[in-house]
Amino acid sequence: MKLSVAGTGYVGLVAGVCFAEKGHVVTCVDVDEEKISQMRQGISPIYEEGLEELLKKNIDKGRLFFTSDYQSAYSDADAIFIGVGTPEQPDGSANLRYIAAVCRQIAQSVTRDCLVVVKSTVPVGTNDKVEQFIKDNLERDVTVRVASNPEFLAQGNAVYDTMHAARIIIGTEDEVAKKTLLDIYAPFDLPIVSVSRRSAEMIKYACNNFLALKISYMNDIANLCELVEANIDDVAEGMRYDPRIGAKFLKAGVGYGGSCFPKDTKALTYLARQHGAQLKTIDAAVEINAQQKTRLFEKAKKRLMTFENVKIAVLGLAFKPGTDDLREAPSLDNVRLLLEHGADVVCYDPIAAQNFHKRYPNVPLANSVEEALEGAFCCFIFTEWEEFVRLTPEVFRRKMRVPLVYDGRNILDPELMKRGGVEYYSIGR
């Protein structure tokens, strides 16, 4: 089919590339001419394993195109996928201005019947508004159907998650829209759950909020483990065999970040308040996560007399490994506090350093772990990159002025660190 995708961020670009890989002819639309030029050359503007290779491959095969000319992209498409951002507003609600802008462009451009598919994470009822908004602004006598198709990719594994999804959720209100989506996804050969549009919108929020709740629960238990001298790793090991609980998202640390969980928890609580309800479990998850992010900073603050003019090494800036995304990353909260307390901060991240530099241009960036650790009095680990997992006590002891390590991802062995002469602190152990 001939598909167009609005937006070339994590949602739109990954979807467009994967649709092309499955044989569809795809045109990705973005307003940023620099990004468009970059992608036409086969360069991905975001870091995701395998994405750039597939991008180049499908450009060469003539199945993937990039443009800022939305009129040509939307005019005769069989389906138009909306993958633009829905950023959080100050009150926690989702900002739908980018969705509205694309809908207006679609209404002005389409010359034939087509399907508009909302992949962006949107509040329940948004697809109804999208349908009405497009109808109100249509400039030609055509039929535009609207469907919900939320994405469930995890950054760092986005391509794999799209190509090997546990399920595809489609939300439609008529058989034509349903059949079109079934045809689009037929080459993926994946389980498809077909529901109403509003149910599809709620499924996305329910899933993300449940996972955020699971992470916050484990962090809450980890903090209690420290007080009663239990080990959260042992607790998680015992829990993961229970099929009712599952093995994933049981790892304690300094909280969740990224583009989904922080935004979606706040958006769902806002939606509940708008309808006179309160989601007490989600409220608790948000509160726990906010406190968890700086838990190790508070520990270090008690341990050190002052941060003033003290060299602090920060290892890991991205909110998780496998991505260069810094949105809501715990590292940002901690770097801000360290700078406010007068610390001399040096940071290292193998992928996200340049994105960090755009936010903190005056904070030195090291080219390696050892360079970051050189002469440091303290080290914080905020991302579980594999090269950090392999660090030995000898590296900290040899390079640091004081081998004092605060591990926010529980990636190092406490006993090994202790035996190796490192003063080591983690979460719940």
- Exactly one of 28, 260, 347, 378 is catalytic; name it: 260
| Beta bridge mates, 6 | 29, 82
Residue 5's φ and ψ, nearest 5 degrees, are -130, 120
Question: Which pair of tokens denotes residue 316?
Answer: 């890991």
Q: Does residue 310 contact residue 304 with C-beta atoms inside 8 Å?
A: yes
Tell me if residue 260 is catalytic.
Answer: yes
Q: Does residue 293 contact residue 323 with C-beta atoms inside 8 Å?
A: no
Question: Which pair of tokens denotes residue 391?
Answer: 């660090």
Q: Bin 345: left if φ > 0, else alpha if -120 < ψ < 50, else beta.
A: beta
Q: Does residue 317 contact residue 383 with C-beta atoms inside 8 Å?
A: yes
How many angstroms separate the CA atoms of 24 and 13, rounded?
14
Question: Which pair of tokens denotes residue 340?
Answer: 């406010």
Neighbours of 355 (CB within 10 A): 19
DSSP string, 227-284: HHT--HHHHHHHHTT-TTT-STT---SS---SSSHHHHHHHHHHHHHHTT---HHHHH
| Contacts for 142 with CB less than 8 Å, ≥ 6 apart | 110, 111, 112, 113, 114
Residue 66's φ and ψ, nearest 5 degrees, are -130, 135
Q: Does residue 363 contact residue 345 with C-beta atoms inside 8 Å?
A: yes
- What are all long-range contacts of 181-190, with beta carbons under 8 Å and residues at least 24 apart? 181/79, 181/115, 181/117, 181/147, 181/149, 183/1, 184/1, 184/3, 184/19, 184/24, 184/79, 187/22, 187/23, 187/24, 188/22, 188/163, 190/164, 190/165
State the catalytic residues: 260
